[in-house]
A and B are shown apart, each in its own frame.
Chain A
Amino acid sequence: MLYETMMVVVILAGLVILGSSRIRMYIRMAALQGVVLGFLPLALERSLPAARTALLMAVAIVLKGVVFPWLFTRAMREMSVKRERSPIGGYSGAIIFGILAFILSLWLSNKWVLHPSLAGRTPEIAVPAALFTVLTGVYVIMTRKKALSQAIGYLVMENGVWIFGLSLAGEIPVLVELGMLLDVFVAVFVMGIATLKLQRGFGHMDADRLNELKG
């Protein structure tokens, strides 16, 4: 029940990101997803070494709930952009995409056969929720025009991978998990700097208008 509730929160946050035009809302919802998913190891009834789980949870929650929102909010303020402007497909289109993506994820997860060692102990909703979150992230990257929204889309995508990783793989070395978080951290950091540079260099950060080379 706890796991299902968490997944519902994550999926709803994804839908809000699809349907909203405020970048502040994207940041909040991505942070909400990150924090809820940070507590995911608790919902999985699996005996993990306590110290290791606690370390992983702490790093994930601090990174996704505090550091990333702070970075994004700062970038948003410096660039003085608050809203996404006319994304491809519109916001209603994005919500319809969300519904279709969820149905597609359910269908796919029914098609896929889990490895017998996982079949019994993986919650049924794990695969569709993970797929849906990844698809949401990809859709945001594809259709939103501000570089900042695209960076948040990347973060949402990573949240989906996180669901996959934690729910499906029984034993991942803690180093790998921490390495993954470090990757995301560096990526978000670089994207934050890149969007700032874009803003300073060109006076805007519409990925649409970056279609010619300057030498």
Chain B
Amino acid sequence: MKLELAGTIDVLIAFLLAPLLPGIINRVKAVCGGRRGQPLLQCYHDVIKLLKKGAVYSRTTSHVLRAGAVIAPAAMVAALLLLPVPGRRAVMSFTGDVVLWAYLLGVARFFTMAAALDTGSSFEGMGASREAFFSALCEPVLLLVLLLMGMHSSGGPVAALVAVALIIVLLSENSRIPFDDPNTHLELTMIHEVMVLDHGGPDFGFITYAAALKLWMYGMLFSAAAVLPVFRPEGWLPQTGVFLASMVVFAVIVGMVESLMARLRLTRVPQAILAGGALCVLAIAFALR
């Protein structure tokens, strides 16, 4: 395993700027809908406010609920150490670390789901079951995308196919609109928000922050998949500049998708993820020749 201490700065940038992404997405959605929208820094305010509060735990819950709010963010931070800014090295890297990365997210998901089940609410159990269903479908597509990004890094149709497949996966994984609506509370359709209903105070602050970190990591992947094939900047400052610019573009794309699309019917979701898989198979066929 190789350690790269210069990558620490990238991790600090991620810690600092991750909550900005949901802000940009919300601003794009607000502008598209003709509203002024919440402040760009809303997510920071939310997290700080939540951290100042005290926690309340229901008597039906056990230590599993409390563990969920700690392990999930911790797994996200560990995963962040493995992911490089495009063109540079990550803090930790070894052969096959992408698999560890994918399954660290899996660990986070598992403990979030376990915490949701631990509350004993049938409503949260339903959300956990949907999360398990969708993520099980997403996982092969995500691994195919990672495989393709590893084996093929030139432009052309392959890069476009991979980028589109990655967008499908990341929208589903981050519970964004065609798959789940981050704005719906207390509706029978939601997935991620329903699982964390019983978390409050600092726990919920950690979970909100972890969700922002997850979005940031998928943004890094998107940046690597979309920018690297066409443009490879040299030097620290150009790399950082291009990376941050591509993150803004990424947030705008997600915001536009959310403004322009309606939620998919639940029965159509597997089909959409399957289509992502089909794109990957197609891309592999083109990349192999």
Task: List the one stretch of A68-76, A89-97, A166-174 in contact with chain B.
Answer: A89-97
At the interface, is chain B mostly helix, strand, loop or mixed?
Answer: helix
Q: Does B277 contact A (CB under 8 A)?
A: yes
CB distance from B209 to the nearest CB of A (A): 36
Name A73-95 residues within 8 Å CB distance of B. 91-92, 95
B281, A19: Cβ atoms closer than 8 Å: no
Q: Does A157 contact B (CB under 8 A)?
A: no
Query: With A and B bound together, what is the CA distance between A15 and B275 in angstroms?
Result: 8
Q: Closest residue to A94 on the B side, CB-wise?
A: B271
CB distance from B272 to the nearest CB of A (A): 9
Q: Does A183 contact B (CB under 8 A)?
A: no
Q: Does B282 contact A (CB under 8 A)?
A: yes
Name B261-289 residues within 8 Å CB distance of A. 270-271, 274-275, 277-279, 281-282, 285-286, 289
Contact of A11 among B270, B274, B282 (CB under 8 A): B282
Q: Closest residue to B272 on the A side, CB-wise?
A: A19
A95, B271: Cβ atoms closer than 8 Å: yes
A99, B278: Cβ atoms closer than 8 Å: yes
CB distance from A171 to the nearest CB of B (A): 27
Name A181-200 residues within 8 Å CB distance of B. none
A103, B281: Cβ atoms closer than 8 Å: yes
Q: Which residues of chain A come closer than 8 Å to B270, judged between CB atoms?
A: 92
Known: A4-B156, A4-B157. A96 touches B274 (CB 8 A): yes
Contact of B282 among A5, A102, A124 (CB under 8 A): A102
Q: Which residues of chain A come closer than 8 Å to B282, judged between CB atoms?
A: 8, 11-12, 102
A5, B281: Cβ atoms closer than 8 Å: no
Q: Which residues of chain A come closer than 8 Å to B289, judged between CB atoms?
A: 124-125
Query: With A and B bound together, what is the CA distance between A58 and B274 in angstroms?
Result: 37
**17 intermolecular pairs with C-beta atoms under 8 Å apart:** A8-B157, A8-B160, A8-B286, A11-B282, A12-B282, A92-B274, A95-B278, A96-B274, A98-B278, A102-B281, A102-B282, A103-B281, A103-B285, A106-B285, A124-B289, A125-B286, A128-B285
Q: Residues of B with Cβ closer than 8 Å to A?
A: 156-157, 160-161, 270-271, 274-275, 277-279, 281-282, 285-286, 289
Q: Residues of A with Cβ closer than 8 Å to B?
A: 1, 4-5, 8, 11-12, 15, 19, 91-92, 95-96, 98-99, 102-103, 106, 124-125, 128
Q: List 16 other contacts, CB 8 Å, given A11-B282, A95-B275, A125-B286.
A: A1-B156, A8-B160, A12-B282, A19-B271, A19-B275, A92-B270, A92-B271, A92-B274, A95-B271, A99-B278, A102-B281, A102-B282, A102-B285, A103-B281, A125-B289, A128-B285
